[in-house]
Amino acid sequence: MTAAVSAVKAALRNQAIETPSWAYGNSGTRFKVFAQPGVPRTPREKLDDAARVHAHTGVAPSVALHIPWDRVDDYAALARHAEERGLRIGAINANVFQDDEYRLGSVCHPDAAVRRKALDHLLECVDIMDATGSGDLKLWFADGTNYPGQDDVRARQDRLAEALAAVYERLGEGQRMLLEYKLFEPAFYTTDVPDWGTAYAHCLKLGEKAQVVVDTGHHAPGTNIEFIVAVLLREGKLGGFDFNSRFYADDDLMVGAADPFQLFRIMYEVVRGGGHESRTAFMLDQCHNIEPKIPAIIRSVMNVQEATAKALLVDREALSAAQAEGDVLAANAVLMDAYNTDVRPLLAEVREEMGLDPDPIAAYHRSGWAERITEDRKDGRQAGWGA
């Protein structure tokens, strides 16, 4: 094995992809939620399923929570439940979008009492980080307006800045605030954090614990996401990803399903900028509405691994040489050679070296877990959107 291949393998072994608790529960569109058998009923059962994903892939050691969907009485006990299964709690996702009071927004709402309620929730999420050992607070705001003139767009930025500063102050040692942007939805005219520039401006003012999250489904069609990634990494402001695929808007389909070439281009910029060796969080943010959830999450993890492997295989020296010579076609060919490499045998080897089955999905199907949860979780209410 050449030194280059062993370095690629080491990077792949060390990769960590975070799975979202909500992907294990029932989900759907605004038209219908299709319930599936065996879906978890509690946050603990979501962690049990996440442990299966980690057991078969070896690279999914943390789980993101969404509060209040994952509300429990004892968060330290939940973290212990994770630990006993070889997992840890990842990002705490705040939820200031599902209460009636938030009709006109949360931290940007015109009424100070609603803003206070939203801020209290964000601060509670930091308490949960303390209790679970989580290092990341993920903030996404559904705030915005539907009609021109509905509210003062600039005043809303002031309110946002005030809330973010209060939360930032509360962060402890080693804790980060990850600010996520989204072009539109649920607001259709203005969104208060619509793009990476707005998120970046707020994070820059807050300080080094504040970084931007790139949710790959949150851009206009045709947006060059890898450019955003390159710029944010250069500025030390890329906190992490919410990976998923989109065909139209915020589709939340499996990452790498719609456009594996885009995922490769993103991962190449990550590797180029050293993001795979930094604290960049590689999180999934997906919903599996019609496909079985655990195999879909395993597939998603594998898709990220494949894109990463291809990015790591780019011959950077040859690329630099071609770029320096202005050889457009040769430079492009170097990237395409890596993209067109079948990395599945390499990843199978990496898994075998980690003591895993080279085919995680087949191993999951053989494990009997799906049958077991279908049998064990017949009673009670399945977890799903809003619960």
Residue type (1 letter), 85: R
Question: Which CB, 160 or 322, lies closer to ligand LRH?
Answer: 160
Instruction: Name 33's bridge partners.
Output: 28
Beta carbon of residue 11, minimum distance to ligand LRH (angstroms, whole number): 27
Q: Which does 93 bind (CB under 5 to 8 A by kind): Mn ion, ligand LRH, none?
A: ligand LRH
Tokens of 219: 């851009």
Tokens of 179: 């600010």
- Residues in 191-220 at the binding interface with ligand LRH, rule: CB under 6 A: 215
What does R_g of the chain's alpha carbons equal in angstroms? 21
Question: Which CB, 12 or 284, lies closer to ligand LRH?
Answer: 284
Which residue stretch of 37-45, 225-233, 249-257, 310-318 sits at the interface with Mn ion (rule: CB under 5 A)?
249-257
The contact mask relative to Mn ion for 193-232 (x = CB under 5 A, - = no) is ----------------------x-----------------
Collapsing DSSP states into helix, strand and coil, what is residue 211? strand
145 binds ligand LRH (CB under 6 A): no
DSSP letters, 82-142, are HHHTT-EEEEEEE--SSSGGGGG-STT-SSHHHHHHHHHHHHHHHHHHHHHT--EEEEE--
Give me the helices (H) in the chain, please: 3-14, 43-57, 75-84, 112-132, 153-170, 196-206, 225-234, 260-272, 293-313, 316-324, 328-339, 344-353, 360-367, 369-376
Token pair 């040859």: residue: 318
Q: What is the DSSP-derived secondary structure letter of residue 275?
A: G
Per CB under 6 A, the list member of 48, 70, 143, 285 interacting with ligand LRH is 285
180 binds ligand LRH (CB under 6 A): yes
Beta carbon of residue 375, minimum distance to Mn ion (angstroms, whole number): 33
235 binds Mn ion (CB under 5 A): no
Instruction: Name 211's bridge partners.
Output: 178
Residue type (1 letter), 169: E
Give the interface size with ligand LRH as a residue count (CB under 6 A).
8
Measured CA to CA, the distance from residue 277 to residue 231 in angstroms comes to: 17
The contact mask relative to ligand LRH for 88-107 (x = CB under 6 A, - = no) is -----x--------------
- Residues in 230-259 at the binding interface with ligand LRH, rule: CB under 6 A: 242, 250
Beta carbon of residue 177, minimum distance to ligand LRH (angstroms, whole number): 14
Measured CA to CA, the distance from residue 148 to residue 174 in angstroms comes to: 41
Question: Which CB, 140 or 339, lies closer to ligand LRH?
Answer: 140
Residue numbers at the binding site for ligand LRH (CB under 6 A)? 93, 140, 180, 182, 215, 242, 250, 285
Residue numbers at the binding site for Mn ion (CB under 5 A)? 215, 242, 250, 285
